Structure 1
Amino acid sequence: MSVSRRAVRTDGEATRNRILQAAGELFAAGGYAETTSKAIAAHAEVDLASINYHFGNRNGLYQAVLAEAHRQLISLVDLRSLAGSQVSASDKLMRLFEHLVQRSQDEGSWNIQVLARELLAPSSHLKVLLQNEVLPKIQVIRQILADITGIPVDDPALTRCLVSIAAPCGMLLVAKRGVPGPLNDVLRMPGAVIAHHLHTFALAGLEAISSDYRESAKSPRRSRPAKSAGPAKKG
């Protein structure tokens, strides 16, 4: 009795997803260095050959886990859908904050823990994650910020805006709950309050930078550093 290709493909996808889930849980709990392929195989109830078949090796598996973790944080499909929606650019930014805050507050979610570990102690795999997952999403977010500010997408001023907006979101992701301090106080606040604050604060900053950018465009000399008068001449 022959087995259809569809059945084989479905079984293979189920096994791959089971390995990915098991690896994500173990990497989140113990980190990449402390998690062996043998432990992952046991947790996923597969043999080592299955890991090599689907991911090549432990490095390939870890990169796949990082990519899946970032997709669970926010997918490129969802981000493009938001960017293409009919709401204002300001509302798009608000919805982005709401989404990220909600994800950051997901207790026990392995994807957040994996990303936090990688951000706090970057490995060589972070470059792969940035290239394959993060940068395409950044381009979409840059366009939203450009629509808000009127600053061209490729302008360095917009890059600074992007970093200023991403930084507090990154802090929410890597923060450990229960650790005393102001950040823990923020994490205990309702998500809607946090998202509203991030949005209000971001819009004020974006408006200030946008205004400064427009003024600089009108008077290019304002953006140039003043020339030194040089040493005073002796009389």
Structure 2
Amino acid sequence: MTKSSRSSRIDGEVTRARILETAGRLFAQTGFAETTSKAIAAEAEVDLASINYHFNSRIGLYQTVLAEAHRHIIDLDDLLLIAERDECAEEKLRAFFTLLVDAAQSGRGWHTGVLARELLAPSSNLQVLFTKELQPKLTVILGILSEITAIPISNPALLRCLVSTAAPCLMLLVAGNGLPGPVQLVLQMPKEQLIAHLFSFALAGLQAISKECVAQPSQDNQHSKN
């Protein structure tokens, strides 16, 4: 690679990063529908063609912003490192809550704002986010929950456990974007106290559902076989 081509590639990467950062901030402030490509280009000091060149379209840019926001809050590699730790599944669950409480309490710039807007007013782009970012991460978390409960991943009961475990975390992330009310007060609790509460509450529920599945294995097991 020549010096000129290497310089052009670096310039392109810098421009792409600037567009992404600018778009993320604007989407977090005014939402997808109210943020135009023209506004993004003006703020990032690029021409409209640069947005199409790097992201194909405004929709492509928004989907990239959503994916970047989710990776910034919880990265798949971080989850895999937790799952591969040589420790009990319960401690892996505690580490998962630590990641999310860190993200919620730190605010994480525009990243939580973009996700909060999308969660509160879902668009068709949420399905793309689920397929590209959420699904592989949920698979890792399901594995941890399966370790704790001894419920097979194919059993629908484990999906219910996933929703019950993740829902409070989603509320905290939304609250991190300035949502008023009692969740905001919870978010202001000391970090270790909040992690301990989420962990204890989730673990008690998981253990209760695990006992139910052992005592009454018929219905969910039949669904998982069909």
TM-score (ref. length: structure 1): 0.88
> What secondary structure sits across from 2:86 in the alignment?
coil
Cα drift, residue 78 of structure 1: 1.2
Distance 2:104 2:32 in 1: 21
In the alignment, is residue 28 of structure 1 matched against residue 28 of structure 2?
yes
Distance change >3 Å, CA 174–CA 222, structure 1 → 2: closer
Q: Deviations over 1:51-87 (max 9, x none)?
A: 1100001000000000000000111111111111112
Please identify runs of 4+ aligned residues in structure 1 that moved more than 6 A.
221-224
Q: 1:108 to 1:151 in 2, by over 3 A?
A: closer
Give yes or no for the alignment of 1:18 onto 2:18. Answer: yes
The amino acid of 1:106's aligned partner reads S
- Say which SS state the counterpart of residue 126 (structure 1) adopts: helix
> Which residue is equivalent to 1:109?
109
Structure of larger gyration radius? 1
Which whole-Å CA distance do the structure 2 matches of 1:34 and 1:21 have between them? 17
Tell me which residue corresponds to 1:214: 214
Q: Which residue of 1 aligns with 2:40?
A: 40
Unaligned runs of 5+ in 2: none
Corresponding residue number in structure 1 for 2:195:
195
Q: Measured at CA, do residues 7 and 167 of structure 1 come closer, stay the same or move farther in structure 2, by a change above 3 Å?
A: same
Tell me the equivalent position of 1:177: 178
Does structure 2 conserve the Cα–Cα contact (< 8 Å) formed by 1:27 and 1:114? yes
Does the Cα contact within 8 Å between 1:98 and 1:195 map onto a contact in 2? yes
How far is 1:9 from its partner?
2.1
Which residue pairs with 1:5 in the alignment? Answer: 5
Matches within 5 A, 1:51-62: 51-62=51-62
Residue in structure 2 matched with residue 92 of structure 1 by the alignment: 92
Identity of aligned residues (%): 56
The residue number in structure 2 matching 1:128 is 128
Count of residues paired in the alignment: 220
What one-letter code is carried by the residue in structure 2 that aligns with 1:177?
G
SS in 2 for 1:87: coil
Change (3 A) 1:222 1:76: closer
Tell me, which stretches of 5 or more residues in structure 1 are unaligned? 225-235
1:233 corresponds in structure 2 to: none
The change in CA–CA distance for 1:207 and 1:178 in structure 2 (over 3 A counts) is closer
8 Å Cα contact 2:83-2:140 kept in structure 1: yes
SS in 2 for 1:105: helix
Output the amino acid matched with 1:158.
L
In structure 2, give the amino acid aligned to 1:105.
Q
Superposition RMSD on alpha carbons, in Å? 1.8
What letter is aligned with 1:153? I
* Shift in CA distance, 221/80, structure 1 to aligned 2, threshold 3 Å: closer
SS at match of 1:189: coil
- Structure 2 CA distance for partners of 1:56 and 1:178, relative to 1, 3 Å: closer
The letter of the residue matching 1:117 is R
Q: TM-score, normalised by structure 2?
A: 0.92
**1:32-65 per-position Cα deviation (integer Å, ceiling 9, x unaligned):** 1111111111111111111110000100000000
Separation of aligned partners in 1, 2:150 and 2:113: 36
Separation in 2, partners of 1:132, 1:80: 16
**1:108 to partner: Cα distance:** 6.2
